[in-house]
Amino acid sequence: MSKQYTLAAEKREKAGKGSSRAIRRENRVPAVIYGDNKPPVTITLVAKDLVKEYHKGHMFTNLCELAVGSEKTLVLARDVQVHPVTDRPMHVDFMRVSPKTQIHVSVPIEFINQDKSPGMKAKGVLNIVYHELHVVCPANNIPESIQVDLSGLEIGDAAYLSSNVTLPQGVKVETKEDDMTLCTIQQPKEDKAPEPTEAAAAAPGAEGAAAAPAAGAAAAPAKEGDKK
């Protein structure tokens, strides 16, 4: 079952840019509820409450119970428009959901049991190929994350969707590949001493030899301007 959070909302009658600007000046955020073969409903939300939930990073995977007056609606945020400078939410699109609603959503990957991987214990480097997976699942069963089990993996091994992942019931990964390589464990990088440059590789005293004429060699004739 997906986790839920609650937001209080109020209906709004007017729409448009002018109305939205006025709403934001009142420290509220305009939003819309749509879907489930019902007409869309325009609402406003308390800005500080919405900002708090938005920055938790769960709005696209956790269901929300919107309380609009005495009516409660189960929704999922599908789009959040943010200010280009402050990153504060400016408008939200909510989709009505039910236990029968199938949705497409991106779910983060969590790499577990690294302490049970011989390769990671040998200071191998975890090379992550995918950070999230696109899945289709019931709206009331959105996983918080997809866990990839690294148990037993050696350096040079890879973790695959088919063998290192157990998907929650009702969750299906959207992919056209026969299998997906999710990560690999690579050989740790060795710290190598920098190779000497051509100048540094020269024999000792080369710098001094280059600065002074060889023993017994005649000094270079002075330039005309150097004569006194």
* Verdict on whether the full-model pTM lies above 0.85: no
Domain residue spans of the chain: 4-97, 103-186
pLDDT at residue 22, rounded to an integer? 85
Of residues 30 and 15, which shows the higher confidence score? 30
pLDDT in tens, 62-102: 999 999 988 999 999 999 999 999 889 999 999 999 878 99
Instruction: Characterize the bridge pairing of strands 71-82 and 89-96.
Output: antiparallel
pLDDT in tens, 157-174: 999 999 999 999 999 999
Q: Does an H or E element contain 38, and which? A: strand 38-46
Cα-flanking dihedrals φ and ψ of residue 132, to 5°? Answer: -150, 160
* 21-25, 115-119, 197-201: range with highest mean pLDDT: 115-119
3-class state of residue 52 by DSSP: helix
CA distance 212 to 214: 7
Structure tokens at 193: 């001493």
CA distance 4 to 74: 9
The CATH superfamily holding the domain 103-186 is Ribosomal protein L25, C-terminal domain (2.170.120.20)
Domain 4-97, CATH number (from 3.40.720.10, 3.20.20.140, 2.40.240.10, 3.40.640.10): 2.40.240.10
The beta-strand segments (E) located in the chain are 4-11, 28-35, 38-46, 63-68, 71-82, 89-96, 102-112, 125-128, 132-138, 146-149, 158-160, 172-173, 181-186
Q: What's the chain's average pLDDT?
A: 85
3-class state of residue 227 by DSSP: coil
Q: Do domains 4-97 and 103-186 have the same CATH topology?
A: no
